[in-house]
Structure 1
């Protein structure tokens, strides 16, 4: 079972692909769009469009563009956009986010939980800068170390110690790159637990509901492995911060 399919099934009941609860998403989006009743948003790695669709539902004069490599996720985003009545205000592109080009800049650029698409936080911010209108905002979510990770944690995540830093160092790096955090949010332990229990539970439930599917065993194995890596590894060690940034 490929990674995209696993992710899609695992996020069936938590379409925001990050440990951020719905009320936190709403608060971040409200802050990101508070300066203008109308605008254009771009999500570089939109998945099923969770952030953009919530934005469009709350802001009837905004338009949005989403880019992702998962064709099935984009299909679901289109279906949800139609159900919400916002399909005319969103454009979805099946494309590597690194290859996306636009004729006009955007007032808001998002990448929450998908900085791996660009090779990390700072490369993601460099990509966002290329699409950002003067005075625009970037909403970016990234992991950080709540405490020093043990070797077992790194092995379980398939990560290196330098893949993340602590929150202070992560923020210092953002500042040194020319960005100013004008708002931000650190996900709570409950949000992490809800996210991981939903992720593993949705995937395991799919396997139980489809016992004859050729991928059922692989889905269950992925859910069990992920649950163990979380509970016996990075729970309480890996944090998540979502910054709202401006240049300057």
Structure 2
């Protein structure tokens, strides 16, 4: 089992309160199955290529899909992702995620949202995220790749955590967004604006932390490249990665 990923007893203790209750036949070992799901997502494997140490691949896939659609992984992230001591500052940004050919069909089948669009880079999705001052994710959502940063921020306004200042890049420099914010904004002005707003350059240097956040998330190969056709399944994969990397 050398090189395999295993959740520790302490990590399982934090996760177990959010698991669905067993009804009838006892569930297969939660630690083994969840560790297997994390291993597959981190290393970009097909489900059938999961190591035998984690049990049948079908069990891993069924547990991931079932709990994703039940909202278990999303609930775990929401409950564990709480701003720390540096909660006075939050940051917002977005990144593109390339859609693999197995997920990149634009034809929508069924009622489940896909969140895949077309840009100059091809078919992709866009991950809009808010993090705290330490670069830990707090809230996010997925959109088609062609959605602008400002529109993504508008969708996140109602879920912004309590803070004193919001850091963002030039893509969020819009008068309506500044007016809609209930907190101070540290956003550099776009080139050519007639009345550019000032920003704290020293504070703005901290914005690299959200870029580091995206880099760490994309170390997981099934986050860097989207293989899941359903948007909710890909969001669950992001919830798992964000929880393991930053909140366990």
Which TM-score band (shorter chain)? under 0.3
TM-score by length of 1: 0.27
TM-score by length of 2: 0.27
Identify the structure with the greater strand proportion. Answer: 1
